[in-house]
Amino acid sequence: MKRIYLDYNATTPQADEVTEAMLPYFRERYGNASSPHLFGREARGGLERARERVAALIGADTREIIFTSGATESNNALIKGIARKKRDAGRHIITTAVEHHSVLAPCKALEREGFEVTYLGVDSYGVIDLDQLRDALRDDTVLVTVMSANNETGTLQPIEEIATLVRERNSVFHTDAVQQAGKLPLDVKELHVDALSLSAHKFYGPKGVGALYVRRGVVIPPLLEGGHHERNLRAGTENIAGIVGMGRAAELARERMENDRVLVTSLRERLHREITQRISDVVVNGHPERRLPNTLNVSFRYVEGESVILSLDMKGIAVASGSACTSGSLEASHVLLAMGVPPEQAYSSVRFSLGRYTTAEEIDCLVKELPSIIERLRSISTFSR
Amino acid sequence: MKRIYLDYNATTPQADEVTEAMLPYFRERYGNASSPHLFGREARGGLERARERVAALIGADTREIIFTSGATESNNALIKGIARKKRDAGRHIITTAVEHHSVLAPCKALEREGFEVTYLGVDSYGVIDLDQLRDALRDDTVLVTVMSANNETGTLQPIEEIATLVRERNSVFHTDAVQQAGKLPLDVKELHVDALSLSAHKFYGPKGVGALYVRRGVVIPPLLEGGHHERNLRAGTENIAGIVGMGRAAELARERMENDRVLVTSLRERLHREITQRISDVVVNGHPERRLPNTLNVSFRYVEGESVILSLDMKGIAVASGSACTSGSLEASHVLLAMGVPPEQAYSSVRFSLGRYTTAEEIDCLVKELPSIIERLRSISTFSR
With the C-alpha atoms ordered B324, B327, B329, B334, is the resulting torsion angle positive or negative? Answer: positive
Average pLDDT, chain B: 95
User: Which among B19, B27, B313 has the least Cβ separation from residue A38?
Assistant: B313
Tens of pLDDT, residue by residue over A171-211, are 999 999 999 999 999 999 999 999 999 999 999 999 999 99
Q: Rounded to a whole number, what is the distance in Å from the CA of B207 to chain A's nearest CA?
A: 5
Q: Give the model's confidence band at A13: pLDDT under 50 very low, under 70 low, under 90 confident, else very high.
A: very high
- Would the ipTM clear 0.85, i.e. be above it? yes
Report the C-alpha gap between B67 and B242 in whole angstroms.
Answer: 10
3-class state of residue B141 by DSSP: strand
- Nearest residue on chain B to A11, alpha-carbon basis: B32
Would you state the pLDDT for residue B329? Answer: 53
3-class state of residue B21 by DSSP: helix
Would you state the pLDDT for residue B381? Answer: 77
Q: Rounded to a whole number, what is the distance in Å from the CA of B319 to chain A's nearest CA?
A: 8
Q: For the purposes of burial, counting CB atoms within 10 Å of the CB of B135, is it exposed (0-12), middle (13-18) or buried (19 or more)?
A: exposed
The domain ranges of chain A are 4-11+257-379, 16-253
Would you state the pLDDT for residue A323? Answer: 54
Q: Is B208 on the interface with A (CB under 8 A)?
A: yes
From chain A, pick out residues whose CB is under 8 angstroms from the CB of B73: 69, 224, 236
Would you state the pLDDT for residue A329? Answer: 53
Q: Is the pLDDT of residue A297 over 70?
A: yes
Report the C-alpha gap between B322 and A244 in whole angstroms.
Answer: 27
Tens of pLDDT, residue by residue over B73-107, are 999 999 999 999 999 999 999 999 999 999 999 99
From chain A, pick out residues whose CB is under 8 angstroms from the CB of B13: 26-27, 30
Q: Cα separations (Å) of B186 from A7, B107, B211?
A: 41, 25, 14
Report the C-alpha gap between B34 and A179 in whole angstroms.
Answer: 17
How many helices (H) and strands (E) are present in chain A, helices listed first? 14, 12
CB within 8 Å of chain A, chain B residues 301-340? 306, 309-310, 312-313, 316, 318-320, 323-329
Please say if B107 is a catalytic residue: no
Q: For the purposes of burial, counting CB atoms within 10 Å of the CB of B10, is it exposed (0-12), middle (13-18) or buried (19 or more)?
A: buried
Q: What is the DSSP letter of A62?
A: G
Would you state the pLDDT for residue B322? Answer: 65
HEC readout, B172-228:
EEEEECCCCCCCCCCCHHHHCCCEEEEEHHHCCCCCCCEEEEECCCCCCCCCCCCCC
Q: For a pLDDT cut of 90, what percent of chain B falls above it?
A: 95
Q: Is A383 on the interface with B (CB under 8 A)?
A: no
Domain A4-11+257-379 class, CATH top level? alpha beta
Q: Give CA torsion, residues A220, A223, A229, A232, to 10 deg.
A: 30
CB B203 within 8 A of CB B181: yes
Would you state the pLDDT for residue A2? Answer: 85
User: Which among A16, A105, A226 has the least Cβ separation from residue B325?
Assistant: A226
Q: Is the pLDDT of residue B326 over 80?
A: no
CA A283 to chain centre: 23
Rounded to a whole number, what is the distance in angstroms from the first to the last CA of chain A? Answer: 35
Domain B16-253 class, CATH top level? alpha beta
CB A294 within 8 A of CB A8: yes
Rounded to a whole number, what is the distance in angstroms from the first to the last CA of chain B? Answer: 35
> Alpha helix locations (H) across chain B?
16-22, 24-27, 38-58, 71-86, 101-112, 130-136, 159-168, 188-191, 229-232, 240-278, 305-314, 334-338, 343-347, 360-379
Q: Cα separations (Å) of A102 from A71, A77, A199, A361, B287?
A: 8, 10, 12, 35, 45
Nearest to B305 by CA among B290, B323, B292, B280: B323
Crossing angle between the packed helical segments B38-58 and B240-278, to the nearest 10 degrees: 30
Q: Give the model's confidence band at B2: pLDDT under 50 very low, under 70 low, under 90 confident, else very high.
A: confident
